[in-house]
Amino acid sequence: MNDEKKSIYQEYTQIQEKNQWMIVYQNIKDASEIEARKCNYTINESKKIQNKSFNRYGDVNPYDHSRIVLKRPNIDTDYINANLVKLERAKRQYILCQGPLQSTIGHFWLMVWEQQSKAILMLNKLIEKRQIKCHLYWPKGEGQRLELQDVGLIVEYISAENYKNFSKRLFRITDIESTKSRDVIQFHYTQWPDFGVPSSPIAFLQFLKQVRDSGVLDENVGPAVIHCSAGIGRSGTFCLVDCCLVLIDKEGESRVSVRDVLLELRKYRMGLIQTHDQLTFSYQAIIEGMERINNKTFDELDILEIATGSDHEEENSPPPLPPRTSSFPVHDRPLPTSPLDSSRQLEQISEPSDPTSSDISEIDEDDDSSDTDTDDDDDDDAIGDETKLTNGQNRFDANSSLPPVPNGTLDLSIPSDKQRFSSDDEKNPKAGDSKNAMRHRNRAARQSAMQDKIREIKRKQKESESKKVSSTKKRRSLILSIGVLILSVVAYFYVKS
């Protein structure tokens, strides 16, 4: 491997071999918190009483120095849980925000309008792990309109294209007062699990390439709005991968530090990339992207095949597995993978899908009533909600060896005790005698233990019955004594009178 290409790949390999992802992630987290205290980053606006209800999570707040300020007069607030995140070296800027609440839909679209954003990147589903993670903030079907009188905007659903891993929707925003209109594209990635990462870097990179090719990330347009549920975990992962690939293409890999880029992005919004798993995936996507992102045939893979049907979130179909083998001409060897990588793929296939309806039009807008600050999310401050399984790739390996089945049939009947031991006994009579003796001893021991249990149960039943009889006799004696006493008293007063 030559010097030009060793930096990020060798860093990844070293961390992977020493299993130090948690340590590396924690060091980045600590460094960003020290920087925040040093620079005195405040979150005062988010803590104001009138703004607290506009935050989806109580511990995810926008920094004051980079927060988006709503400018339209005559609205109830200028606050929205969103930050302008920039990387000057890459000439990239994004607006990272939380998934809209029912009470902030108008604020969200007003931000898109005022910031002249050309695209919305949605990286989560509306419902995940049986909890609402984002309110349905767009019209329910093509040709329908959403009138937002509180901010003076109308949002119209123009069209949609559905792919295996994402949906692309076109909306038209109209300002009621000026009657001006502007089109906005929503790229909705539907296969990024809560507390997890996409099934493969390839699928994610194809999504990134589609976003890039649309021109919505160019420096001459308004910043794209990127959100998941809290707007820091999955959203931060997207920004880190995109920025690093831009810098690598511009300056060369040896001059790009993934850690430094992430620390720079964290200066604008707290907590970007929320688990060490997301950090691991970011490295994998960057390494894979260096070879594939500029390949002209990259977007011709089957993963981008258009899915049939109406507008959907792809709730019921698992994401495609990555290819069984991957060529890495850049590094001449495959990317090391952790046991978690294959376990996530197994989880995607074996576990039932999230409970969201596959048809967005069936989701009632009143569903957001269950939004709370206690919802679990990939963007919460919890780190350890990971499914740790053993590497099970060979379960899906068609070349795995199985014993031959005679005549193409497989006997699934359960053999009796006699059948289990007959073949071995015939081969070795002495062994058969020994096994028979052992079986008799084991059977006798089990019978003896069972008899002991039965005797104990009977003993307890007798004790219980004896206690009941004794208790009944005591009650009868007491009742009789009380009756005699009452009769005596009555007789006494009767004689005396």
Structure tokens at 329: 């001409």
Please give the Cα distance from 196 to 234 (Å, whole number): 9
Phi, psi of 81 (to 5 degrees): -80, 80
Greatest CA separation found in the chain?
A: 124
Structure tokens at 226: 């990127």
- Comparing CA positions, the residue from 174, 192, 194 lying closest to residue 241 is 192
Q: What is the dihedral of CA 415, 416, 419, 421, to 10 degrees?
A: 110
- Residue 284 is classified by DSSP as H
Please give the Cα distance from 459 to 438 (Å, whole number): 31
Please give the Cα distance from 289 to 298 (Å, whole number): 10
CB 230 within 8 A of CB 123: no
* Residue 97 annotated among the catalytic residues of the structure: no
Angle in degrees, 0-180, between the axes of helices 276-292 and 21-38, rounded to the nearest 10: 100
The residue from 39, 97, 134, 228 that is catalytic is 228
- Comparing CA positions, the residue from 273, 282, 390 lying closest to residue 12 is 282
Rg of the chain over all Cα atoms, to the nearest angstrom: 33
Please give the Cα distance from 118 to 116 (Å, whole number): 6
458 membership: H or E segment, kind and range: helix 429-496
- Comparing CA positions, the residue from 347, 362, 306, 380 lying closest to residue 126 is 362
Which sequence positions are flagged as catalytic? 228
